[in-house]
A = this chain, B = another copy of it.
Amino acid sequence: MSQLPLQRCLAFLDLSPSERATLDAMAGPPTPLPKRAVIRAEGDAVDTIFFLLEGWVTSSLSLPNGDRQIVKLHLPGDMLGTPSMVLAQAAETLTAITPVRLCRMSLSDYGQLFVRAPRLAAVLFLCAQQERITLMDRITSLSRTSAAQRLAALLLHIDERLRLGEPGRAPMLDLPLTQEQIGDMTGLTAVHVNRTFRELELMGLITRRGRQVGLADLERLRQFAALPPRVWVRDPSWLPAHGAEPVPAVAAA
């Protein structure tokens, strides 16, 4: 029994024991993978999705000219690879940037969730919508703000994500990311990421020691980054009740 970490889903709703058990029963055994391992590459067949238990994973797209864009940073508790469910060939390359542990789940099992646990399915739907909001915010950040603002937004985003799993943590990030990878996330070159870190430091917004980054002034940082605050709904009233008896669809007209 794997006891999947489901922070992301649970943020919307407390799942019932039976819902959790349904999920757990479908998940494969936890598998460790080393740093740099490619979990699934662009173009690969899509027959499973993944649950990340430990470690950090990037989801990236690559261009014909060799450039790479990291579109999403996955932290423990995330489901990985779900966007590619709509494609025969995966759109994204999932790469471990630290040693990781993850579980697989087959698409056929996943599909059964919609029948066996409708309320859980609705929460998974919400998770997908939440990712859309995040991507929309990132688009806005990328195309409308300066390098320094984009970097600030990234740091704040990571801090917020980590805080989900560790509420009382200090505003200090221990990034396992190279400046090149940070550039791939923010749409900058590694060289300019370096200059931009210095700039944020000079502005007094962050402190640095190696790859440790301290968020020195969260409030000013937030204002500077121009990130809209997103408050996720909790336990929305319109969700179907947990044990809800399935209702037959109405007859065709």
What residues make up the interface of A, taking CB atoms closer than 8 Å to B?
Answer: 1, 12, 16-22, 24-25, 61, 63-65, 67, 69, 71-72, 82-89, 91-92, 106-108, 110-112, 114-119, 121-122, 124-126, 128-133, 135-140, 142-145, 186-187, 226, 228, 230-233, 236-240, 244-253
Contact = CB atoms under 8 A, between A and B. Distances in A.
Contacts of A69: 139-140, 143-144
Contacts of A252: 16-18, 20-21
A247 B108 contact: no
Contacts of A137: 61, 91
Contact of A251 (B18, B138, B249): B18
B87 A240 contact: no
5 contacts: A69-B140, A83-B133, A86-B130, A114-B119, A114-B239
A24 B251 CA distance: 12
